[in-house]
């Protein structure tokens, strides 16, 4: 068995943004990830970047309906997740970033300069019996910063 890391870990602290990146998709575990990120960000006196990835549906061609706006949906998911996590008491240093792309790749790209990546263990899709979802598993294996995977309270 090889002991070689599967991804390169950032070693130069000057590459860091001094922020925690939290991937959200509106799932209960991503809301809990936001709450955990707040505790860590307050302890370290750093900010939080809330990220949601979006893509146009694959069935959409050149003449797609103008009322389908996955970018706006992503922004709404972030806003709703922040309200669910914090109510009227959201952290002062929080940014919302909607990025077009595949969720795992968007978060892995963000991990290049983040101090920490925080994700929920299970998103909205996939198989209920799995311990980790595909996005959280990919982030845990390939991120270039420390990763915290937050399980929902009903996790067994």
What confidence score (pLDDT) does residue 124 get?
57
User: Is the pLDDT assigned to residue 5 strictly greater than 50?
Assistant: no
Decide if 6 is inside a domain: no
Decide if 129 is inside a domain: yes
Going by C-alpha positions, the residue among 112, 139, 117 that lies closest to residue 12 is: 112
Decide if 91 is inside a domain: yes
Decide if 134 is inside a domain: yes
CATH of the domain at 122: 3.40.50.620
Number of domains within the chain: 1
Decide if 62 is inside a domain: no
Domain housing 49: 33-56+68-150
pTM assigned to the model: 0.82
What confidence score (pLDDT) does residue 128 get?
45
A 10 A CB-CB count for 114 gives 27
* pLDDT digits 0-9 by tens, 111-144: 999 999 999 997 655 444 444 578 999 999 999 9
Split at pLDDT 50, 70, 90, the class of 7 is very low
d(CA 145, CA 137): 14
């Amino acid at each position: 068995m090889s002991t070689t890391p599967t991804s390169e870990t950032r070693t130069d602290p000057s590459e860091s943004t001094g922020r925690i990146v939290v991937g959200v998709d509106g799932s209960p575990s991503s809301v809990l990830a936001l709450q955990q990120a707040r505790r860590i960000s307050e302890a370290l006196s750093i900010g939080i970047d809330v990220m949601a990835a979006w893509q146009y549906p694959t069935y959409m061609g050149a003449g797609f309906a103008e009322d389908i706006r996955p970018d706006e949906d992503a922004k709404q998911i972030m806003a709703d997740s922040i309200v669910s996590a914090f109510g009227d008491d959201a952290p002062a240093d929080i940014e919302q970033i909607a990025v077009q792309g595949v969720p795992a790749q968007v978060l892995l790209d963000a991990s290049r300069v983040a101090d920490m990546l925080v994700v929920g263990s299970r998103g909205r899709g996939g198989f209920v019996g799995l311990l980790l979802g595909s996005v959280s598993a990919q982030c845990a294996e390939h991120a270039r910063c420390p990763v915290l995977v937050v399980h929902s309270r009903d996790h067994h």
